[in-house]
Amino acid sequence: MKKISLTILIIALLFVFLTIGCSSPSLVATVNGEDITEKDLEMNIDFMTSQDATGMLAQDEERLDAARSDILDSLIIMRLVRQHAEGLDIEVLEEEVEQMYVRIVDSFDTEAQLEEALAERGITQEFLKRELKNQVIGDKVLEYIIEDIEVTEEQAREFYEANKGRMFVEAEKVKVSHILAKFSDEEERHKAIEKIEFAFSQIGEGKPFEEVAKELSDDEDSSQNGGDIGYIRKARFPDSFKQAAFELEIGELSEIIETESGFHILTVTDREKEHLKEFELVKDVAAAYVEDQQSKQAWTDLIFHLIDEAEIVFHTDIKGTMVTADQG
């Protein structure tokens, strides 16, 4: 799982950017006078193909061409964002990048494991640190353009009204108590059946459910609370436990049911029907969604503005989707 997190981090980066020095590099594009080389592009293609577990991408020329175009878009965008950051006097400190890098290192048991993970993905520490720097640049530019965003209560309410039937409905839920008899093998299963049947008979003879739970239930977390496990929500595809719980009326006792945990007796002590959450209870959530939408729109607007104002020249047949001032 720790190794997977590294892949997710790399793939989730919004931008891909490398500056690789070489003599007489073959150029694929120029962005406001700044070159993107074929080596830049191919190293990122190599990284992408190394993530393809099927190996099909490397053999599919049509998909590879599409990937080259997409990556070139990302390279161009990163150049534009970096140039914009420089124009805003936004700086990235080495310590900021190093802190992110150290968090990745710490997610591995040993440095050797990290080196192995990087090698498997065909990347170097230098590549990773450059990607992390790109992420910091993007984050800082985003922070700059959204710092004045303020969501009004009216905007939050409009979002609530437009989405209340989809996002702000509280599902039906019941408050459940249970008595559990555990087992792990056939011998224990037989004893568990005897135990749960005895518990069932005790309740049938008038002994309070809570007392029986305290005395007999194998669920240590709930037994001292009389078997109370709190509220559970109705699921679209309920397991046998939830199905039994939602079929009960308040105060009604279930039959003995079997799950992976063991044998249970259930009772429901409270029920809340499905209902729409009031705006006052969720207005902060609605406002957060609006803020996220506005932030994404501000970012999109910035990128298109930078593209419109840029001089982007392509030097090969590989072209992204950017509007160009000169086809080169």
Which helix (H) or strand (E) is 228 found in, with range?
strand 228-233
Task: Summarize pLDDT for 200-231 with one digit per residue, the tens.
Answer: 999 999 999 999 999 999 999 999 999 999 99
Q: What is the rounded distance in angstroms from the CA atom of residue 191 to the CA atom of residue 169?
A: 43
Return the pLDDT at 248: 96
Q: What is the rounded distance in angstroms from the CA atom of residue 170 to the CA atom of residue 177?
A: 21
- The topology (CATH level 3) of 169-276 is Chitinase A; domain 3 (3.10.50)
User: Percent of the chain beyond pLDDT 70?
Assistant: 88
Q: Residues of 287-319 as b/e, b for ≥16 C-beta within 10 angstroms? A: bebbbeeeeeeebeebeeebbeebebbbbeeeb
**Mean per-residue pLDDT of the chain:** 86
- Calculate the alpha carbon distances from 188 to 185, 216, 263 in Å: 5, 15, 11
The domain limits of the chain are 2-150+285-314, 169-276
Give me 34's structure tokens: 């700044």
Return the pLDDT at 64: 79
| 323 has a pLDDT exceeding 50 | no
Return the pLDDT at 9: 44
| 295 has a pLDDT exceeding 90 | yes
* Better-scored residue on pLDDT, 122 or 231: 231
Q: In the predicted model, what is the mean pLDDT of residues 57-64? A: 75
Return the pLDDT at 321: 66
The amino acid present at 269, given as its one-letter code, is T
- Same-fold call for 2-150+285-314 versus 169-276: no
* Better-scored residue on pLDDT, 49 or 34: 34
User: What pTM does this model have?
Assistant: 0.69
Least confident window among 54-58, 278-282, 299-303: 54-58
Which helix (H) or strand (E) is 323 found in, with range?
none
**Strand, helix or coil at 29?**
strand
Residues 6+ apart with CB under 8 A from 324: 312, 313, 314
Task: Summarize pLDDT for 125-183 with one digit per residue, the tens.
Answer: 888 888 899 999 999 999 999 999 999 999 999 999 999 999 999 999 999 999 999 99
Return the pLDDT at 136: 94
Class of domain 2-150+285-314 (CATH, top level): mainly alpha
Task: Summarize pLDDT for 186-201 with one digit per residue, the tens.
Answer: 889 999 999 999 999 9
Q: In the predicted model, what is the mean pLDDT of residues 30-57? A: 81
| 12 has a pLDDT exceeding 50 | no
- Is the four-CA dihedral 252, 249, 224, 188 of positive or negative sign? positive
